[in-house]
Amino acid sequence: MRLAIIVVLFIAYVIFLIFLFVKIGEQDTPRITEPFIEDSLLVQTGEADNLLAEFMQAFNQGDYDRARRIAAALQEKYPGSPQAEKAAQMLAGLKPETPQPVAYKTPTSKPKTAPATPATRPAATSREQPASKPEIGDLSAKIQENEARLQDALSRMRKERDDRQGITWYFNKNVSHYVYKNSFEAYIGQSDAGEVWLRLRIYFTGENPLNINSYQVYADDREYSISTLYGNMEQGSGPRGYWEWYDMQVSPKEMKVINEVMIANRNAVRYIGSKGIWERAMTEGEKLRLSHVMEAYNALLIQKELLSANVVPGN
């Protein structure tokens, strides 16, 4: 009897060990990062990303009417999605009737169509003349409206003045240019003449130098290359290791990269150099800082256009 109990316990112990090994094996089995995503969901996500990319393009160009239409379509087709929430967040700082900047047109004295019979049609009255004053008044209202948006955007920026070159620089308040860090940052330049441009600065620090000559930026499944041939590369070393940072003026190509990074769920940067390759994931803080810079940049561009349009020729 005692022997039978021992045998039963031994068999139970062996079964328990087999069960335990099976469970451990299942835990060690490699898994796909995002398992069991249906193809239809992937298609929907791709469509939402495309809509959001169109929204960002319209928003950055100041075409807020089109941006609102795209945001409404996002909300209707994909309610509660990250893309719809991102579009709504970008529009939250705008007033409901924010107009798209338009170039001021000099009123013309010629009517669009010739009068049918000069004898029967009375001479043009003041009401028939082009209404230039209401246009100027509307433009002033637009300038005041954008000024509020601009001040809100610049409240998150730090201003540095270069009197020698006549340039004002705008940086994120919570970002210093301390060399020992890894980050992907943008900042704004504005000349005394009113010209506005965007610059990109990519930082690297590590135990060993890379001698960086290019970067690969990943935004979800999209990949972009940035060469160091078109800007300034600074390198050095100190008690905390080596540092390299690259500074360049943003072209339409880099503008697309920044817009894609802001809307992507996963971003990474690969630093490629003659002495090594290193990569890292970008943080949500970097994306937020990019969005703050873009909001200020767009507001400054709109201000420039509105102020230019407000100058009436001949006055």
Domain residue limits at 280: 158-289
This prediction has a pTM of: 0.57
Q: Do strands 267-273 and 276-281 pair parallel, antiparallel, or not at all (unpaired)?
A: antiparallel
Predicted local confidence at residue 226, as pLDDT: 96
Predicted local confidence at residue 59, as pLDDT: 76
The string of DSSP codes covering the chain is -HHHHHHHHHHHHHHHHHHHHHHHHHHHS---SSTT--HHHHHHHHHHHHHHHHHHHHHHTT-HHHHHHHHHHHHHHSTT-HHHHHHHHHHHTS-TTPPPP-------SS-SS--S-TTTSPPP-GGGS--HHHHHHHHHHHHHHHHHHHHHHHTTEEEEEETTTTEEEEEETT----SS--EEEEEEEEETT--EEEEEEEEEEESS---EEEEEEEETTEEEEEEGGGSEEEEEEETTEEEEEEEEE--HHHHHHHHHHHH-S-EEEEEEETTEEEEEEPPHHHHHHHHHHHHHHHHHHHHHHHHHHTS-TT-
Predicted local confidence at residue 111, as pLDDT: 37
Predicted local confidence at residue 115, as pLDDT: 41
Is-contact 52 259, C-beta < 8 A? Answer: no
Predicted local confidence at residue 30, as pLDDT: 36
Least confident of 27-36, 79-88, 253-262: 27-36
Give the pLDDT band of residue 168 (cuts 50, 70, 90). Answer: very high
Least confident of 150-154, 161-165, 291-295, 305-309: 305-309
Domain assignment of residue 89, yes or no? no
Domain assignment of residue 94, yes or no? no
CATH number at residue 228: 2.60.40
Name the residue with higher pLDDT: 87 or 216.
216
Domain assignment of residue 226, yes or no? yes
Predicted local confidence at residue 126, as pLDDT: 39
Give the pLDDT band of residue 304 (cuts 50, 70, 90). Answer: confident
Domain assignment of residue 284, yes or no? yes
Domain assignment of residue 16, yes or no? no
Name the residue with higher pLDDT: 42 or 257.
257
Q: Answer whether residue 284 shows pLDDT above 60.
A: yes
Predicted local confidence at residue 35, as pLDDT: 31
Domain assignment of residue 234, yes or no? yes
Predicted local confidence at residue 71, as pLDDT: 82
Name the residue with higher pLDDT: 36 or 133.
133
Domain assignment of residue 181, yes or no? yes
Q: Answer whether residue 154 shows pLDDT above 60.
A: yes
Cα gap 157→310, rounded to integer Å: 27
Predicted local confidence at residue 99, as pLDDT: 38
Q: How many C-beta atoms lie closer than 10 Å to residue 110's C-beta?
A: 7
Domain assignment of residue 59, yes or no? no
Highest mean pLDDT out of 71-80, 119-128, 256-265: 256-265
Cα gap 244→209, rounded to integer Å: 8
Count of domains observed in the chain: 1
Predicted local confidence at residue 147, as pLDDT: 84
Predicted local confidence at residue 146, as pLDDT: 79
Q: Answer whether residue 112 shows pLDDT above 70.
A: no
Per residue in 19-51, pLDDT (tens digit) is 666 555 544 433 333 333 333 344 455 677 777
Predicted local confidence at residue 88, as pLDDT: 80
Report how far apart the first and last C-alpha atoms of the chain are (Å, whole number): 115
Q: Can you tell me the mean pLDDT for 183-208? A: 94
Q: Can you tell me the mean pLDDT for 50-76? A: 76
